Every structure is written in C-alpha cells, then in structure tokens.
Amino acid sequence: MKKGDRRKKHLMEIVKREGAVSVAELAETLGVSYMTIKRDTGELEARNLLEVINGVAVYNRNAVFDGDAPYSLAHAGVARIEEKDRIGSAAAALIEDNDTIIVDSGSTTEFLAKHLPDDIRVTILCYCMNVMAEVYKRGNCRLIVAGGYFHKNSLMFESPEGLALIKRTRAAKAFVTASGVNAELGVTCDNHYESPVKRAIIESSRQRILLADSSKFGLVRSAYFADMSEFNVVVTDSGLPGDFVRLFKELNVEAMVC
C-alpha cells in the first residue's frame, strides 16, 4: 500500500471512531501539513466517505442508523434524508416575521435551517454546529449562540452558562428533536447531557414543536425529557403509525404529516 493510501486509511479510522474531527487536528495527529489533509479529505469526500463542514471532517456511514450503536450525528445525518428534508421544510413554514425561535440540536433541525425563509426577519438561538453553519450565512437572521463544551458525537455545545442563557431567553417557538417517542414512556434522547437543554427550551417557549421522522415513534432511548402532551405540534412524515395519530388527537396535539 502506498504511503498516501495508508495515511488516508488511518485518517478514515480516526474520523470513523470520533464521528467528527477538524482538518487541523487530523493534520497534527498524522504529522503532515494542513494542505495535505485538506487534499486527502477532499478525495474522501468525493468518494462519499465523509463530508467536510466548515473545516470539520464528518464521517458518512451511508446506511440507516443502528439504534443500538452509540449515537453519532454523522450517522444519523445520512438516514431518512428525504423525510427529514420534508419535515424541515414544513417546520420552517411555521416561522413568522420577527419571531424569536430556539432550534434544538440534531440532524432534522439542520434541514429546518436549510429551509429558513429569506423574506422575513428572525432571531435564532441555537447550540449545534451544523445548525449554526446554515444560519450564520443568512442576512435576515440574528444569531444567538449558547456555547460551551463541544460534544463530537452530536456536534452540540453544552455548559451551565449556555443553559442559563437559554433559561433567560423567551421565544415564540422551540423546534425540538427526539430519538424516541413512546406512548407510555414519553419523549427521549440518546445523551443525558441533552435533557436539561431540551427541558430549558421547552420551558422558555410559547409554542413547542416536535420534529421527528416516523422511525422514532414507538422507540425508547435512555434520557427522558418530556411528555408528548407538552408539545403543541408534531411534524413528521407519512409513516406515522395510526395509534399515534389517534393519541395526538386525544392529547390535542396537532400532527403535521408531510
């Protein structure tokens, strides 16, 4: 195996293990120049093995996310893309002129950010790198970032200071994601550090909007953060099970199926 091929193999092993690694960090770890790694990641991106987002190499496992494996946004981001794109577009249509909104971390909210309307002014509080990467480019959006410790598996920033900022903010709408929605055990996520943040955005917002593709319904993850009755709207796709359609009617929760 050629030296360059061995380096790229090692690079992919690192990115696969970590989920997301900056190009600068890869260059330092592998002992080569930044431009060499930038060229390598460009070749690997062309082969659809990873994606480079704002100088960060994100692993692309081109398969449906395995719920029993450790959560990685890089993995979740390539699953059910068409459904998440429709959900993001439908959710973005709910935003009104001069709204202050809070956008949760996750792969689905990235599609919300991509579909933000250009003809209205909106203030957005967020704390996830992939969402920020979409929002900061827009001239009509005022961006507030709740920073802190960076979690590579979810691309999320989290800290007591960031949580305090969220609690001091009042929003018209919160767009919340979940990894599991269960009739008995409520709405859950994979990482326990996410739960206090999700609770805070729910309690800081007038309207609570859950974004979840239909594969999440019936699942239970380890970190509980809300009951379904706490949401005003659920935006999902046409695969939503019928028993949840009936349950949302009983709870007076609007189900937007797209």
Domains and CATH numbers, the chain: 3-60 (1.10.10.10), 80-257 (3.40.50.10470)
H/E run at residue 24: helix 23-30
Nearest to 180 by CA among 249, 137, 144, 228: 228
Measured CA to CA, the distance from residue 45 to residue 40 in angstroms comes to: 9
- Vertex 218, ends 213 and 219: CA angle to 5°? 85
- pLDDT at residue 47, rounded to an integer: 76
The pTM of this model reads 0.72
- pLDDT at residue 71, rounded to an integer: 52
- pLDDT at residue 68, rounded to an integer: 41
Measured CA to CA, the distance from residue 10 to residue 248 in angstroms comes to: 48
Average pLDDT per block of 10 residues along the chain, 258 residues long: 86 88 93 92 82 83 41 53 93 98 94 94 96 91 96 92 97 96 93 96 98 92 94 96 94 96
Residue tagged 């994601």 (tokens): 177
- pLDDT at residue 170, rounded to an integer: 98
H/E run at residue 161: helix 160-168
Residues 6 or more apart whose CB falls under 8 angstroms from that of 86 comprise 237, 258
Q: CA torsion 173→159→79→209, rounded to 10°?
A: -10
